[in-house]
Amino acid sequence: MTAGEQTLERAAEVPAYRGHQVEVLRTVRLSPSFVRVTFGGEDLAGFADQGFDQRIKAILPLPDGSITPLGDGGDWYQRWRALPDELRNPIRTYTARAVRPELRELDIDFVLHGESGPASRWATHVTPGDRIVVVGPNAAHPGPLGGQEWAPPAGATHLLLAGDETAVPAIAAIVESLAGSVRATALLEVPEAADALPLDVRPGVDVTWLPREGARHGDLLIPAVRDVLSTLTAQGGTVAGEPVPSAPASVTPLEDVDIDEEILWEVPQAPEVSGGDGLYAWLAGEAGVVKLLRRHLVQEAGIDRSSVAFMGYWRLGRSESA
């Protein structure tokens, strides 16, 4: 067997994502809408620290506090789906805000939006010692681990990140790790002014918090994104001296996404990601808002879709399990 074949065989045996048994070590109420939960456990020694917008799954307890075992394999999802309703734990998607494998620690920042969803309810009442399972990237896997969408092309000269409170952990992790001199603008819509969290960013990274204070989701974010784009294009159709990547003149009309039926998740993958200079945008949050932003960027502003990641993180009035 060649070395390449051995790696493939190992990749099939050692899954890219697996369940990690974790226990709540401590919680910090960061602001009215955010609680940071720090998890610990020996299992986290093998949790890969990839940074950026690392997606994970939280497997939450059933009403009696139990978590049905799903095994260590990569087939955890199929096993979960095959369980009878009464044994199937709620699963919700979150972001690894920080990973410290050497300390066997993981931080997740939960938005507290009331008692209507199992994850927000759990995070509202969480106490040290509570246990869940986090499905996340497995450092032992020999191939790519995935679960990240942040992929600016090397030639990007301006980065635009925009999202609501559910995207704050991802945007915060991204902007805090930006290296080099590329300019970045982050627009973060949050429920109230006290949810503006301190972020450790370098010069050239502009962070603007947009407190809704009772307004609807998107009411502040959408005009703020429009303003940034029009400022950039008013600078002679350039971003930081480079052209805004515009769609080819013969671009096909933007197909509609029915966000009540399907997830809005339109992310250019390398090598699709535009290798051109100029703007790269990453947009996440409530699906209806992201859909409006998508229309604005692609149809009205004519920005090339291969330069923008659009992600519906949640849907107003719909549970993630629906």
State the nearest-atom distance from the C-beta of 73 to ligand FAD, in Å. 22
State the nearest-atom distance from the C-beta of 316 to ligand FAD, in Å. 5
Q: Six-digit token pair at 104?
A: 């066997």
Task: Output 111 or 273, the one with its CB closest to ligand FAD.
Answer: 111
For residue 154, the Cα-to-chain-centroid distance in whole angstroms is: 21
Task: Output 169 or 276, the one with its CB closest to ligand FAD.
Answer: 169
Q: Six-digit token pair at 144?
A: 């790519």
State the nearest-atom distance from the C-beta of 202 to ligand FAD, in Å. 23
Task: Output 147 or 245, the one with its CB closest to ligand FAD.
Answer: 147
State the nearest-atom distance from the C-beta of 93 to ligand FAD, in Å. 4
Q: Which residues touch 3 (CB under 8 Å, ≥6 apart)?
A: none
State the nearest-atom distance from the C-beta of 180 to ligand FAD, in Å. 25
Instruction: Name the residue with tokens 């066997």.
Output: 104
How far apart CA 160 and CA 227 sit, in angstroms, is 12
Q: Terminal CA-to-CA distance of the chain, rounded, Å? A: 45
Task: Output 118 or 278, the one with its CB closest to ligand FAD.
Answer: 118
Residues that bind ligand FAD (CB under 6 A): 55, 92-95, 109-111, 113, 116-120, 165-166, 169, 313-320
157: part of which helix (H) or strand (E)?
Answer: strand 156-163
Q: Which residue in 188, 153, 185 sits closest to 272, CA to CA?
A: 153
CA 256 → CA 70, 264, 306, distances in Å? Answer: 37, 10, 17
State the nearest-atom distance from the C-beta of 78 to ligand FAD, in Å. 20
Task: Output 52 or 229, the one with its CB closest to ligand FAD.
Answer: 52
Task: Output 74 or 169, the one with its CB closest to ligand FAD.
Answer: 169
CA 187 → CA 97, 205, 207, 209, distances in Å? Answer: 18, 11, 6, 6
Task: Output 188 or 301, the one with its CB closest to ligand FAD.
Answer: 188
Task: Output 244 or 284, the one with its CB closest to ligand FAD.
Answer: 284
How far apart CA 57 and CA 215 sit, in angstroms, is 30
What backbone phi and psi angles, to 5 degrees, belong to 12? -70, -30
DSSP strand pairing (242-243 vs 238-239): antiparallel
State the nearest-atom distance from the C-beta of 281 to ligand FAD, in Å. 17
Residue 176 CB neighbour total at 10 angstroms? 15
Q: Six-digit token pair at 189?
A: 């819509």
Q: Which residue in 57, 33, 66 sits closest to 320, CA to CA?
A: 57
State the nearest-atom distance from the C-beta of 34 to ligand FAD, in Å. 8
Judged by DSSP in three states, 34 sits in strand
